Amino acid sequence: MSSEGRPVRLQDVADHAGVSLATASRMLSDSDYKGRAALRDKVIASAAELGYRPNLHARALASSTSTSVGLVVHDVRDAYFAMIAGGVIKAAEAHRLLVTMVCTYRDPRQELNYVSLLSTQRPRAIILAGSSFIDRAHTAAMTAQLSAYQADGGAVVSVTRGRRIGHLVEVGNVEATRRLAHLLADLGHTSFGVISGPARLIAVRDRMRGFRLGLQDRGIELAADAIVHADMSRDGGARAARRLLDRPDRPTCLWGVADVVAVGAMAWARSNGLRIPEDVSVAGFGGTPLASDAVPALTTVELPLERIGRTALDLALLPLDEPRHTVEIGGTVLMRDSTAPVVKGS
């Protein structure tokens, strides 16, 4: 028992040994582990000193599952999800696990259907890399499905908030877009157009909230007609750009909630004779290769997408008796050539 009178957890062992939770888990569960013998001895000694006892029932359930991991993404054609998936797959290979990936295309019914199908295959874990939905009925159905799967010995990990079951990789959507708005406003922009995504996605709402807050911090209010909701695709971004830029009072700066829509907006602007950033600045979110390869290079919030994927897999492999863990991962604003100070008279 711990000093608080509760059973000793693996987290207590990791803290005592001065290692990460994932490291402690691997060194105590993998009897064939050959590397860093001194560190492994330290972890084993901490476990013995604290009186740590693994949950054998949970381990038995886990060992009865397959050596596969289910990965649910919105759209693997989007580099954002492709890079997260790459991180999951790379980490899974190190543990000799096979990843089964499915795409929901942002359809909540398809998400529920795939989670149900994956559960019947008894993967070791299900990782939900796409944003959760603002839909009470869907949330209740997903919670029931995932709870049953978890009770049978499966691990659940979500990327971005919204689900109350399993571990969480919390992406700093609000904080990052708030900083981006600050920097764009500091370039002198006061007139913005925003290409948003489906309002029912929590990640979209979080990014929108952060951007609004950032503009408000600079005394700027985002008008309702300055926001266009679009498909999270290049074509969706182009269509939204037409609606925002093909008007007499066009904004001096466009922001897309994802790099893919921002790149679509840039393509429409150029094909219609607008110069970037001289006539209109454009920014995105995600930090995908699309952003760096764009001409001019796209200002964006860069997320460590592959690390997000690796972290999700690490959480999925924690012992099943571990409490819910939340790992926060933030983004970095990269100011590039697609944005510039407002030209006087614009």
Q: What is the mean pLDDT of residues 24-53?
A: 73
When mean pLDDT is compared across 1-10, 167-176, 200-209, the lowest value belongs to 1-10
Asked, for residue 2, whether it belongs to a domain, the answer is: no
- Indicate the SS3 state at residue 242: helix
Among 57, 127, 128, which Cα is nearest to 319's?
A: 57
pLDDT of 15 higher than 50: yes
**Contact call for residues 315 and 255 (beta carbons, < 8 A):** no
Same domain, yes or no, for 167 and 315? yes
Chain centre to alpha carbon of residue 204: 11
What was the pLDDT predicted at 3? 57
pTM: 0.80
pLDDT of 345 higher than 80: no
CATH of the domain at 235: 3.40.50.2300
Same domain, yes or no, for 41 and 103? no
What was the pLDDT predicted at 29? 67
Same domain, yes or no, for 126 and 161? yes
pLDDT of 1 higher than 60: no
Domain that holds residue 77: 66-171+306-328
Same domain, yes or no, for 275 and 191? yes
What was the pLDDT predicted at 275? 97
How many domains, in total, are found in the chain? Answer: 3
What was the pLDDT predicted at 312? 97
> Which stretches within the chain are classed as H helix?
10-17, 21-29, 37-50, 56-63, 79-94, 108-120, 136-151, 173-186, 202-217, 234-245, 259-271, 289-293, 305-316
- Indicate the SS3 state at residue 302: strand
Q: From the CB of residue 329, how many other CB atoms can be counted at a distance below 10 Å? A: 15
The more confidently predicted of residues 11 and 329 is 329
Same domain, yes or no, for 113 and 82? yes
pLDDT of 222 higher than 50: yes
Q: What is the mean pLDDT of residues 258-281?
A: 97
pLDDT digits (tens, 9 = 90+) for 81-101: 999 999 999 999 999 999 999
Same domain, yes or no, for 238 and 135? no
Asked, for residue 108, whether it belongs to a domain, the answer is: yes
pLDDT of 142 higher than 50: yes
Average pLDDT over the chain, rounded to whole?
90
pLDDT digits (tens, 9 = 90+) for 289-317: 999 999 999 999 999 999 999 999 999 99
Same domain, yes or no, for 35 and 70? no
What was the pLDDT predicted at 217? 98
Asked, for residue 342, whether it belongs to a domain, the answer is: no
Asked, for residue 97, whether it belongs to a domain, the answer is: yes
CATH of the domain at 30: 1.10.260.40
What was the pLDDT predicted at 264? 98
Same domain, yes or no, for 217 and 111? no
What was the pLDDT predicted at 274? 97
Asked, for residue 265, whether it belongs to a domain, the answer is: yes
What was the pLDDT predicted at 6? 62
pLDDT digits (tens, 9 = 90+) for 102-125: 999 999 999 999 999 999 888 999
Q: What distance in Å separates the CA atoms of residue 316 and residue 25, rounded to the nearest whole number?
A: 11
What was the pLDDT predicted at 17? 87
Same domain, yes or no, for 191 and 84? no
pLDDT of 25 higher than 50: yes
Same domain, yes or no, for 177 and 190? yes
Asked, for residue 337, whether it belongs to a domain, the answer is: no
Q: What is the mean pLDDT of residues 249-270?
A: 97
pLDDT of 4 higher than 70: no
What was the pLDDT predicted at 322? 86
Asked, for residue 160, whether it belongs to a domain, the answer is: yes
Asked, for residue 333, whether it belongs to a domain, the answer is: no
Please provide the distance, in angstroms rounded to a whole number, between the alpha carbons at the two ends of the chain. Answer: 68
What was the pLDDT predicted at 155? 94
What was the pLDDT predicted at 109? 94
Q: What is the mean pLDDT of residues 53-79?
A: 73
pLDDT of 164 higher than 90: no
Same domain, yes or no, for 161 and 186? no
Same domain, yes or no, for 185 and 298? yes
Q: Give every CB contact of residue 161 below 8 A, 6+ residues apart in sequence.
A: 132, 168, 170, 202, 206
